Chains A and B, each alone.
Chain A
Amino acid sequence: EADIYQTPRYLVIGTGKKITLECSQTMGHDKMYWYQQDPGMELHLIHYSYGVNSTEKGDLSSESTVSRIRTEHFPLTLESARPSHTSQYLCASSVRLAGDQETQYFGPGTRLLVL
């Protein structure tokens, strides 16, 4: 079982608030990712990192920002939450397996509701 954690699991906040979703992994993986997933829809990559001090935007435009100061920690911040940010946010990390195949391990997700 993967050691990747997300907090909080559930969050209800008002419009305009600043929030930070936490993600940490204890596996020493260099690569980490943030996905957004609406109910019944596919995962969309919003940010990723290949290592400390490396962050990139993903495929889906997002008003969030990320930082990677430590290998194990990849927090996502929304400066001013809006109802359109209501979604599930999944954090993942990856490692290369034998045969040059990388596999991702996902955290349990944070369900965000912005009122």
Chain B
Amino acid sequence: KNQVEQSPQSLIILEGKNCTLQCNYTVSPFSNLRWYKQDTGRGPVSLTIMTFSENTKSNGRYTATLDADTKQSSLHITASQLSDSASYICVVSDRGSTLGRLYFGRGTQLTVWP
């Protein structure tokens, strides 16, 4: 069964600290993996997209890694800010239609405290 599992479910950190969010998937075939940030009451916003051949991709203070062999990805946030408080969603696409079918994780709810 194609699934996307994220951990932890929720995380609280102090402002300025680093954190790492995990995503494990069983989706096959694999096309790409995306990390989204979803603020409360808003729609998700794309942070990174990685294909099979990419191991790491950065977007400012966000760095995503991908190990396609172990089917694991992580999102590392450096020097966290209060505005980083949000849900971070891992989404995996299979190699179906042009977009592929998307499998969504339930997200990690990150809270950054001052």
Contact = CB atoms under 8 A, between A and B. Distances in A.
Nearest to A100: B98
Interface stretch (A12-20, A35-43, A75-83): A35-43
Contact of A101 (B43, B44, B49, B106): B49
24 contacts: A4-B43, A40-B106, A41-B106, A42-B4, A42-B104, A42-B105, A42-B106, A42-B107, A44-B104, A45-B102, A90-B44, A91-B43, A94-B99, A101-B51, A102-B99, A103-B49, A104-B99, A105-B46, A106-B44, A106-B45, A108-B41, A108-B42, A108-B43, A109-B43
Interface string A25-60: 000000100000000111111000000000000000
Contacts of B106: 40-42
B42 A109 contact: yes
Interface residues of B, number: 22
Contacts of B34: 103
A94 B93 CA distance: 14
Contacts of B105: 42
B42 A40 contact: no
B7 to A, nearest CB: 14
Interface of B: 4, 9, 32, 34, 41-46, 49, 51, 89, 98-100, 102, 104-107, 109
A6 B10 CA distance: 28
Given A96-B98, A102-B98, A104-B46, 19 more contacts: A4-B43, A31-B99, A40-B106, A40-B107, A41-B106, A42-B104, A42-B107, A43-B44, A43-B104, A45-B102, A92-B43, A94-B99, A99-B51, A101-B51, A103-B49, A104-B102, A106-B44, A106-B45, A109-B43
Nearest to B3: A42
Interface of A: 4, 31, 40-45, 90-92, 94, 96, 99, 101-109, 111
A62 to B, nearest CB: 16
B41 A111 contact: yes
Question: Which of A103, A104, A105 has its CB near the most chain B CB atoms (within 10 A)?
Answer: A104
Contacts of A104: 46, 99, 102
B34 to A, nearest CB: 8
